[in-house]
Amino acid sequence: MKSISITLLCLLLSSLTIQLDGGAASIEDTCKAAAAASPVINYDFCVSTFLGNPKSGSADTRGLAKIAALTAINHASNIKIEITDLLKKSPDPAIKSALNQCFRLYDSMSFTLANAADAINADRDEAAKGFLKTGIQEAEDCAAALEKAGKASPLTKGNSDSVELSTMSLAILDLIAKKPSDHDDMMIRAVLV
């Protein structure tokens, strides 16, 4: 019983502090908190990512986590195109093989991150975090494959951006764990679809 009352007390206290928030989450505050939570996340990159999406303006914290995941999906599509171009230019079979592996990884990542976005929508945060971690692993596996092929990776920035976007989504979900009030805003997320 004691642990339940403590939990309820914590929820009560955090909900009281959250009363001060408006409906939409502040991009700057969210990015500040996310950057503080993870060394992978750069504040400016985080802010500019959200500013680049017109839906961020009215999104709550959960909505921002979803936008980060969707941005990562779009980024994965861009990387696939980049890989296609690189494959045309590169004669080296070792690099080609690594690039093909990267293509498969980024293709899979689109589905992984789509699962993450759907899980975020459904308030299945633990599942979402699992998918995001898998997405991060897929980018890291690509980086490792290219490193093994021995040449300087042409996808370094692409891979690190991918990791950063997925990490942003993860970190923001962790912020929500401390702010249960956002559970009320399922309506907003639903219509963001």
Partner 1 sequence: MDYAPIPSSPSSRPPHRSLKLLSFSLAAILLTIVAVLNGRYRSGTSPEPVIHPTSPLSRGPSDGVSEKTSGLGLLRSPSSHFPWTNTMLQWQRTAFHFQPQKNWMNGFLPSSSSLFFLFSNRFYRSLMFCCLFVSLARISMDPDPNGPVFYKGWYHLFYQYNPDSAVWGNITWGHAVSRDLIHWRHLPLAMVADHWYDLNGVWTGSATILPDGNLIMLYTGSTNESVQVQNLAVPSDPSDPLLLKWIKSDANPVLLPPPGVGPKDFRDPTTAWYEEEAAAWRLAIGTKEDEGHSGIVLVYQTKDFLTYELLPGMLHAVAGTGMWECVDFYPVGTKAEDGGLDTSVTTGEKVKHVLKASMDDDRHDYYAIGTYDSETARWVPDDPEMDVGIGLRYDWGKFYASKTFYDTKSSRRVLWGWIGETDSEYADIQKGWASLQGIPRTVLLDVKTGSNLLQWPVEEVKSLRAGSQEFTNISVSSGSVVPLDVLNSAAQLDIEAEFEIDAASLAETLEADVGYNCSTSGGANRRGALGPFGLLVLADPKLSEQTAVYFYIAKKTDGGLQTHFCHDEMQSSCANDIYKRVVGSKVPVLDGETLTVRILVDHSIVESFAQGGRTCITSRVYPTEAIYNSARVFIFNNATGARVTAKSIKIWHMNSANIIDSRSPY
Query: Can you give the binding site for partner 1, defined by CB under 8 A?
Result: 8, 11-12, 15, 18-19, 23, 48, 51-55, 57-58, 70-71, 73-78, 80-81, 83-84, 87, 100, 103-105, 107-108, 110-112, 114-115, 117-119, 121-124, 127, 130-131, 134, 180-181, 183-188, 190-193
Question: Min. distance of Cβ 73 from partner 1 in angstroms?
Answer: 5
Q: Which is nearer to partner 1, 41 or 83 (CB)?
A: 83
Residue 10: both structure tokens together: 């914590």
Least distance from C-beta 11 to partner 1, angstroms? 6
Nearer to partner 1 by Cβ, of 17 and 156: the residue is 17
119, 46, 59, 57: CA torsion to nearest 10 = -160
Task: Indicate left, alpha or beta for 123 from its phi (over 0: left) and psi (-120 to 50: alpha).
Answer: left
User: Which residue number, 74 or 156, has a Cβ lying nearer to partner 1?
Assistant: 74
**Residue 167 has which token pair?**
């990490």
Q: Considering beta carbons, is residue 6 or 11 the nearer one to partner 1? A: 11
Q: How far apart are CA 90 and CA 139, in angstroms?
A: 21
Shortest CB 94 distance to partner 1, Å:
14
- Compare residues 39 and 168 and give the one whose CB is closer to partner 1: 168
Contact at 8 Å (CB) between 102 and 155? yes
Please state the closest distance from residue 4 (CB atom) to partner 1, in A: 10
CB of 84 to partner 1, least distance (A): 5
Query: Which residue in the block uniquely carries the two structure tokens 């009030």?
Result: 181
Cα angle for residues 17, 15, 192 (degrees, 5° grid): 105
Q: Of 1 and 39, which CB lies nearer to partner 1 in the complex structure?
A: 1
Min dist CB 146 to partner 1, Å, is: 15
Hey, what are 118's tokens? Answer: 């759907």
Q: Are 146 and 98 in contact (CB under 8 A)?
A: yes
Are 71 and 49 a contacting pair, CB within 8 Å? yes
